Structures are given as C-alpha cells and as structure tokens.
Amino acid sequence: MAKNHGHGGYPNRGAQHSKGEREKNKHQKILEENKANILNFRLASNLSDLIDALSAYVKAEWRDLSTHQLRNLYDEVRRKKTPNEIQLLRAKFAYAQARQSSKPQAKEAIKFLDLIMSDVKQPEQVDHFKAFFEAVVAYHKFHHPKS
C-alpha cells in the first residue's frame, strides 16, 4: 500500500511552516507577483494593498538587516538617475548579500530588493523604485526601530 505523502510528495510539508513563515511567504509572494506595479509604485492601482503587504513583509522578515545597512543601500539607489546606473548597483547588492552569511533573513531581504531592481529598465521606473525603496526604509524603521 502506497503512503500518502501530502503536498508535492513530501511528508507533512505544509506542517513544517510556522504561521510566521506562511505570512512572510504570503506577503513576499504578493509583492513578487506585483513587480510591474512596484515599478509603477506611485501610480499603482493597488497601492494600498502593496503598502500593506510591504509593511507586513518588512515587519516579519527584515529584523536582521540593520537600519544602517539598509540606509547605505538606499542612499546608493537615491543618487542614481538611469536604469543602467540602477543595474550597476546590483553588484553592490550581491556583495551586501554575501556579507550576510550568518543572517539569512537579511540576505533574503537584500535578494528581494535585487529581484525588483533587475526589472528596472525604463527611466520612469527609476523614480518608482526609489519611492518603493523609501517605503521599505520607512517601514523598517517603524517596525524595527532598534536594529
């Protein structure tokens, strides 16, 4: 008689995820599915939903990333004016990820930002990405004031 291994053929796979992990996955998934809206952040028709998902995701998963590190990355982005300049920053973000070997949540946070940056191709998307990143910094400071 064959065993029923549940979801995806893995035994109890769904039971392995805590409520917090499911929440993070839910909010991260919403944001990843809305990359096009993030790159049109100020004009997105679902801006309220994006902001709610961003706040929840930053609260749940970004505590390991220091405010100082996040501000340094944001300051780099803020000075850029073209999509190519944003793309060139991806190497710095990769370096920042590599430095987070003992902090997997911080590494994932930077990786998420890189995922969004990878789609910045049009000049108008630069300003929208900056606005999105500014919201990330604000929610990080709000949810993790001592990090």
pLDDT given at position 25: 66
Say if residue 20's pLDDT is above 60.
no
Residue 97 lies in a domain: yes
DSSP result, 93-126: HHHHHHTTTT-HHHHHHHHHHHHHHTT--SHHHH
Specify if 45 maps to a domain: yes
| Contact status, residue 44 vs residue 38, Cβ threshold 8 Å | yes
What is the pLDDT averaged over residues 18-30?
Answer: 63
Full-model pTM: 0.80
Asked whether residue 9 is domain-assigned, the answer is no
pLDDT computed for residue 15 by the predictor: 45
Any domain includes 13 = no
Q: Give yes or no for a contact between 12 and 6, defined as CB atoms under 8 angstroms apart.
A: yes
Q: Count other Cβ atoms within 10 Å, centred on residue 18.
A: 9
Number of domains, the chain:
1
Residue 127: is its pLDDT beyond 70? yes
Digit-coded pLDDT (tens) for 101-124: 899 899 999 999 999 999 999 999
In a domain, 8, yes or no: no
Residue 94 vs residue 2, higher pLDDT: 94
- Specify the pLDDT at position 54: 93
- In degrees, rounded to 5, the angle at the alpha carbon of residue 22 between the alpha carbons of residues 34 and 7 is 100
Is the pLDDT score of 17 beyond 60? no
Per-residue confidence (pLDDT) for residue 7, from 0 to 100: 41
Domain, as residue range, for 99: 19-143
Mean pLDDT computed over 10-27: 52
Q: For residue range 70-104, what is the model confidence (pLDDT) as tens digits?
A: 999 999 999 999 999 999 999 999 999 999 889 98
Is there a domain that residue 3 lies in?
no
